[in-house]
Copies of this chain bind each other. A is one copy, B any other.
Amino acid sequence: MTPVYDRVALIGLGLIASSMFWAIKRAGLAAEVTGYARSAETRETARRIGLCDRVCDSAADAVAGADLVVLAVPVGAMGAVAADIAPALKLGATVTDVGSVKRHVIDAVAPHLPEGVHFVPGHPLAGTEHSGPESGFAELFDNRWCLLVPVEGSDDAAVDRLRALWEGIGSNVDVMDADHHDLVLAVTSHAPHLIAYTMVGVADDLRRVTDSEVIKYSAAGFRDFTRIAASDPTMWRDVFLTNKDATLEILGRFTEELFALQRAIRTGDGDMLFDYFTHTRAIRRGIVEAGQDTAAPDFGRVGTSGGAAE
């Protein structure tokens, strides 16, 4: 494949950036990929495993001469990183990000970027419960969606080029408005994560049910919650703090609905429960048909092998 960019700089070397690197290399989408991470230990690990063609000791060095700069740090750190790299950005370069919240990132990053630099925020909807430079693998984005969220004045050519990169990486690409993105993600990701964290916290806290019982007998449903609740704490703290309104709105709706179902249990309204559970089954079918999961039964993935092990 012809490279889409001559040089790509990855700022932050966690799960998403490291997976992007391997996917970019797999498809030959850039002549050179530089990388930077704040932690010296992460930079050392990256050098050891060959993550990035060149690992730099400062963000400014990494972005110098880059045609595309990818901000892959927690949402709460985006503004400071943008301020840090701004003086070193090449004229005509595109800056994008991979944050799970878009309105906050736009407000935090855009003011720092100099005239003549394109800003095209993005969000690949992919991940695992692992994090760090060694957790990445090239297949992470295959057949997943990447949402591009152009800001006012985003250059069409810059958007098209970034789209070509993500398609080369294996993703499907959609364009969406920032506020709508933040609401959709509150439903499909942010609220579910908070709920999973909560349920795992409750289980851990119960005195009459020992930790070891919760762990031993987790295969009955709880296990899936623990996987979600094992996601990176810094990333998720920032998501909830920066997508506050939409997340609280969805959680409010969730609580209302949960109370209605609790009431049906308390009053013994079996018909209401049966109808509700029958209806939710249809959504699952839609997801399998849309290729976003398989119909193969999940019984713990024992014996399956993932793309990369931690």
The complex places the Cα of A185 from the Cα of B217 at a distance, in Å, of 8
* Distance of A194 from chain B, by nearest CB (Å): 6
Q: Mark A164-200, 1 if CB is under 8 A from B, else 0.
A: 0000000000100000100111011111111111111
Interface flags for A212-226 (1: CB within 8 Å of B; 0: not) read 111111111111111
Q: Are B187 and A283 in contact (CB under 8 A)?
A: no
Inter-chain contacts of A280 with B (CB < 8 A): 197, 200-201, 204, 226, 229-230
> How many angstroms from the CA of A283 to the CA of B191 in the assembled complex?
20
Indicate if A153 sits at the interface (CB-CB under 8 A): no
**Most chain B beta carbons < 10 A, residue from A126, A286, A300:** A300
The CA-CA distance from A145 to B225 in the complex, in Å, is 19
- Using known A-B contacts A184-B209, A230-B281, A250-B202, determine if residue A265 contacts B290 with beta carbons closer than 8 Å: no
Residues of B within 8 A of A159 (CB): none
A285 to B231, CA, bound (A): 12
Given contacts A295-B309, A304-B296, contact A229 B277 (CB under 8 A): yes
Pick from B137, B192, B198, B205: contact of A258, CB under 8 Å: B198
Whether A287 is near chain B, meaning CB under 8 Å from some CB there, is yes
Number of copies: 2
Give the residue among A126, A147, A218, A247 with the most B Cβ atoms within 10 A. A218
The majority secondary structure among interface residues of chain A is helix
Chain A 128-139 interface mask (CB, 8 Å, partner B; 1/0): 111000010101
Shortest distance in angstroms between A192's beta carbon and chain B's nearest beta carbon?
Answer: 4
A38 lies within 8 A of chain B by Cβ? no
Q: Would you list 12 pairs from A and B whose C-beta atoms are within 8 A, ordered by A residue?
A: A139-B303, A140-B299, A187-B206, A188-B218, A188-B222, A219-B292, A223-B287, A226-B283, A238-B270, A291-B302, A293-B300, A304-B304
Q: Which 9 A-B pairs have the closest CB atoms?
A: A296-B306, A128-B297, A189-B220, A230-B284, A233-B277, A188-B222, A229-B280, A200-B280, A192-B221
